[in-house]
């Protein structure tokens, strides 16, 4: 009876699951031979007394039904993992962890084979304690710690945790793959706290890309301390403090803190409100991070740099790196973007009759450089001489012009970065598509036409066509019908290559033939779009009226945007325009009402609304849904996202329910697209990369910051 009562109260007061057979309620204490089973809903974790942290199995891969033995923030909606046991392998359903006297925590697979244990255990374990600090401690009869997770950190540090000389933490491979990644934070024996990368699978350590400069011989650093208030400091030998944390701390009574070495090599300290009440951010907010600019500061000689080989690193507004392949290059391995990019063409030194200018062309990029891939410098040289030299040199992959010096670079290109401060201009040598050595005359002229077609329609059309391959999307006649189908996304994911950018203009007549529906005149607009080539000035277009009714499907379900009747043309140099309101209610961006300049971002906004409709299978505004919050899809969807009740959005759709991770990612992309502040909205290209899962989607801020409902 006595053991029943607190359990019931606990259930009512906090709505948390009640694990009668797993643990003395909320004591944090685990006795010998207690165990947890991966996938067992009744006994899958041990909670700390406050319930803030849980130790146990967290499902990390729905498709393969894999679980990670880990510690996480139990009350944070996404159950942020702060520690994990086996750095390399999540385990299958039915795996088991048991507290044993001799091996401590013992992880075994469903067949009983031992996978991991909490090494080293020097004396007999008497019990374990899941501390409210997030530390699981194994203690002996005298209540002395003999093993604790804080002494075996993975990629995250928590308040009250310390690092001694020689200690390190390592990044994970990606947001969802917990294998050991390339980056390390280490307190060196000389007292310096450094960030480095290692060349896996070896331990070869590259140059530091950050150092705290606390290796002063007379007074070196001795310990890193993450204190209870959230401050991260280095303690010197004489106890002098060097504070690393920047920015204003929030109260540790109301907020959780963590510092994580992210998979992209940036160490970030974050905070998160403890309760879901109030108006605080319901997600992790970055307080500060090091290094300042990983793209520029991290270059190393025997490795690829922050992004991987043949890549370009660009810093986003959260000071995290965004990695891109140069044009003509694609990812080597789409599941691991840090493996780098490969050229989509063969660059060879075989003798050929064909003049080089028939085979290769240059993609020009301002501010881009690969500082560690030079093999020759020519000076004084002008731009034309530089290009000519690279074109006729079969070793040359890229030429960089800086002042009057021409730097020739070879593959693989490493430490690629965007740095506008140095005034460099890159000429990337790429093979012309379909450039046949044998019959150069005929094919290269037709290929340069294809090249022109590639540019048609600017970012909007490009992004759409690709995206629509992902979501099988139907828009028919006056009404519309949406189908969200996981299978179609999967199959299309496989044909990721440049050929899918196979866009073309339709003559007005073709469109009528294809659809049988008469549309506003497209001809004038599209002719204008089709005129320019790769190195000349291009024309951008703002469609202004992206909505389901304006997206037509061809017989292969490829989406085509129609109805350019409201479109606005922009020259490339022009990035905004002032114009009277255009568009359709429910899809128009707020800047139309605010007397703000109109940019291509209005289409991104409309696309975001459209994406929400596709995900939720309903109209963006539907008064029949009742209360305002529900009638306006964007409000409702964001509420559900914030509250973690996504299933309400896709009620009864079993297929989607099984793939909530992707659904959440698509939603997050949509929220980025409908940001009130146009500058926060991503480009369509970025949207595409996020939808494909190539670029990580960060947690979107509330899209409604300016409006009353925020």
Inter-helix orientation angle 458-470/486-494, to 10° = 120
Between 68 and 529, CB nearer to ligand NAG: 68
From the CB of 284, what's the least distance to ligand NAG, in Å?
A: 10
- Please give the span between the terminal C-alpha atoms of the chain, in angstroms, as a whole number: 47
Q: Is 216 in the site for ligand NAG (CB under 6 A)?
A: yes
Between 219 and 448, CB nearer to ligand NAG: 219
Between 229 and 502, CB nearer to ligand NAG: 229
Which x/- pattern, by CB under 6 A, does the window 68-97 give for ligand NAG? ----------------------x-------
Question: Rounded to an integer, what distance in angstroms lies between the CA atom of residue 633 and that of residue 642?
Answer: 14
Out of 126, 167, 336, 452, the residue judged to bind ligand NAG by CB under 6 A: 336
Span interacting with ligand NAG, options 240-248, 493-501, 609-617, 644-652, rule CB under 6 A:
240-248
Tokens linked to 700 = 């979107």
Binding residues for ligand NAG, how many (CB under 6 A)? Answer: 28
Q: Is the peptide bond before 688 cis (omega within 30 degrees of 0)?
A: no
From the CB of 304, what's the least distance to ligand NAG, in Å?
A: 15
Question: Rounded to an integer, what distance in angstroms lies between the CA atom of residue 98 and that of residue 103?
Answer: 9
Q: Is 234 in the site for ligand NAG (CB under 6 A)?
A: no
**Residues 274-313, interacting with ligand NAG (CB under 6 A):** 280-281, 285
Span interacting with ligand NAG, options 128-136, 185-193, 541-549, 678-686, rule CB under 6 A:
128-136
Between 61 and 374, CB nearer to ligand NAG: 61
Active site residue 167: no
Q: Is the peptide bond before 380 cis (omega within 30 degrees of 0)?
A: yes
Out of 51, 101, 586, 701, the residue judged to bind ligand NAG by CB under 6 A: 701
Q: Is 219 in the site for ligand NAG (CB under 6 A)?
A: yes
Out of 26, 34, 37, 137, the residue judged to bind ligand NAG by CB under 6 A: 137
Question: Rounded to an integer, what distance in angstroms lies between the CA atom of residue 114 and that of residue 101?
Answer: 15
H helix intervals, 531-683: 601-616, 628-631, 633-643, 654-657, 660-673
Between 116 and 473, CB nearer to ligand NAG: 116
Q: Count CB-CB contacts under 10 A for residue 334.
A: 14
From the CB of 143, what's the least distance to ligand NAG, in Å?
A: 7
Out of 18, 200, 233, 235, the residue judged to bind ligand NAG by CB under 6 A: 233
Residues 147/104, Cβ–Cβ less than 8 Å: yes
Catalytic residue, chosen from 52, 545, 563, 603, is 545
Inter-helix orientation angle 684-692/458-470, to 10° = 20
Q: Is 474 in the site for ligand NAG (CB under 6 A)?
A: no
The rounded Cα 273 to chain-centroid distance in angstroms is: 23
- φ, ψ of residue 108 to 5 degrees: the values are -130, 155
Q: Count CB-CB contacts under 10 A for residue 119.
A: 10
- φ, ψ of residue 703 to 5 degrees: the values are -70, -10
From the CB of 547, what's the least distance to ligand NAG, in Å?
A: 29
What b/e sequence results for 251-266 when a residue is b if at least 16 CB atoms lie within 10 Å of its CB, and e otherwise? ebeebbbbbbbbbbbb
Task: Let me know the angle formed at the C-alpha of 223 by 172 and 228, rounded to the nearest 5 degrees.
Answer: 80
From the CB of 307, what's the least distance to ligand NAG, in Å?
A: 17
Residues 707/676, Cβ–Cβ less than 8 Å: yes
Q: Is 243 in the site for ligand NAG (CB under 6 A)?
A: yes
Q: Count CB-CB contacts under 10 A for residue 310.
A: 26
Q: Is 317 in the site for ligand NAG (CB under 6 A)?
A: no
**Residues 479-498, interacting with ligand NAG (CB under 6 A):** none
Span interacting with ligand NAG, options 228-236, 261-269, 362-370, 453-461, rule CB under 6 A:
228-236
Q: Which residues are part of the catalytic machinery?
A: 545
Q: Which residues bind ligand NAG (CB under 6 A)?
A: 61, 90, 129, 131, 133, 137, 160, 173, 177, 179, 216, 218-219, 227-229, 231, 233, 240-241, 243, 280-281, 285, 336, 403, 423, 701
């Amino acid at each position: 009876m006595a053991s029943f009562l607190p359990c019931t109260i606990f259930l009512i007061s906090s709505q948390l699951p009640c694990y009668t057979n797993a643990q003395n309620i909320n004591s944090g204490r685990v006795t010998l031979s207690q165990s947890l089973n991966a996938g067992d809903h009744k006994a899958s974790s041990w909670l700390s007394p406050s319930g803030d942290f849980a130790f146990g199995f967290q499902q990390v891969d729905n498709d393969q039904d894999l679980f990670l033995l880990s510690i996480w923030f139990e009350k944070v909606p996404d159950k942020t993992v702060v520690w994990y046991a086996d750095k390399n392998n999540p385990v299958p359903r039915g795996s088991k962890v048991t507290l044993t006297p001799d091996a401590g925590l013992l992880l075994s697979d469903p067949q009983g084979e031992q996978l991991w244990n909490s090494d080293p255990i020097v004396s007999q374990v008497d019990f374990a304690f899941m501390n409210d600090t997030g530390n699981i401690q194994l203690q002996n009869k005298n209540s002395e710690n003999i093993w604790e997770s804080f002494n075996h950190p993975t990629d995250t540090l928590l308040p009250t945790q310390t690092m001694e000389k020689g200690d390190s933490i390592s990044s994970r491979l990606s947001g969802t793959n917990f294998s050991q990644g390339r980056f390390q934070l280490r307190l060196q024996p000389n007292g310096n706290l450094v960030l480095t990368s290692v060349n896996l699978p070896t331990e070869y350590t590259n140059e530091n890309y950050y150092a705290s400069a606390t290796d002063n011989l007379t007074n070196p650093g001795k310990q890193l301390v993450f204190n209870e208030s959230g401050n991260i400091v280095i303690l010197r030998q004489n106890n002098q403090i060097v504070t690393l944390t920047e920015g204003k701390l929030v109260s540790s009574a109301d907020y959780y803190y963590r510092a994580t070495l992210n998979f992209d090599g940036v160490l970030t300290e974050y905070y998160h409100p403890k309760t879901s009440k109030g108006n605080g951010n319901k997600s992790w907010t970055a307080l500060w991070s090091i290094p300042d600019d990983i793209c520029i500061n991290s270059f190393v000689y025997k490795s690829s740099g922050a992004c991987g080989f043949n890549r370009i690193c660009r810093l986003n507004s959260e000071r995290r790196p965004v990695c891109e392949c140069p044009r003509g290059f694609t990812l080597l391995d789409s599941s691991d973007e840090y493996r780098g990019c490969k050229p989509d063409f063969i660059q060879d030194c075989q003798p050929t009759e064909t003049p080089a200018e028939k085979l290769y062309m240059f993609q020009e990029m301002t501010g881009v450089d690969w500082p560690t891939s030079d093999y020759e410098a020519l000076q004084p040289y002008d731009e034309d001489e530089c290009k000519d030299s690279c074109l006729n040199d079969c070793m040359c992959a890229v030429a960089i012009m800086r002042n009057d010096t021409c730097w020739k670079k070879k593959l693989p290109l490493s430490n690629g970065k965007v740095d506008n401060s140095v005034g460099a201009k890159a000429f990337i040598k790429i093979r012309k598509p379909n450039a046949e050595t044998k019959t150069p005359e005929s094919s290269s002229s037709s290929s340069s036409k294809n090249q022109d077609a590639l540019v048609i329609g600017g970012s909007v059309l490009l992004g759409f066509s690709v995206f629509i391959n992902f979501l099988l999307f139907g828009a028919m006649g006056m009404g519309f019908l949406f189908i969200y189908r996981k299978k179609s996304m999967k199959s299309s994911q496989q044909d990721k290559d440049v050929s899918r950018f196979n866009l073309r203009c339709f003559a007005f007549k073709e469109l009528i033939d294809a659809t049988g529906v008469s549309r506003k005149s497209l001809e004038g607009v599209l002719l204008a779009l089709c005129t320019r080539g790769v190195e000349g000035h291009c024309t951008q277009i703002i469609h202004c009226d992206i909505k389901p009714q304006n997206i037509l499907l061809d017989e292969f379900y490829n989406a085509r945007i129609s109805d350019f009747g409201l479109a606005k043309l922009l020259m490339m140099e022009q990035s905004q325009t002032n114009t009277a309101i255009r568009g359709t209610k429910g899809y128009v961006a707020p800047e139309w009402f605010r007397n703000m300049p109109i940019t291509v971002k209005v289409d991104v906004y409309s696309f975001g609304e459209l994406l929400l409709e596709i995900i939720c299978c309903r109209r963006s505004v539907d008064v029949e849904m009742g209360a305002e919050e529900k009638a306006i899809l964007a409000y409702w969807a964001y509420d559900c996202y914030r509250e973690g009740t996504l299933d309400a959005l896709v009620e009864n759709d079993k297929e989607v329910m099984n793939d909530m991770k992707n659904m959440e990612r698509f939603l997050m992309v949509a929220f980025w697209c409908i940001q009130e502040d146009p500058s926060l909205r991503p480009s369509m290209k970025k949207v595409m990369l996020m939808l494909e899962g190539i670029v990580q989607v960060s947690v979107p801020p509330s899209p409604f910051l300016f409006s009353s409902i925020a």
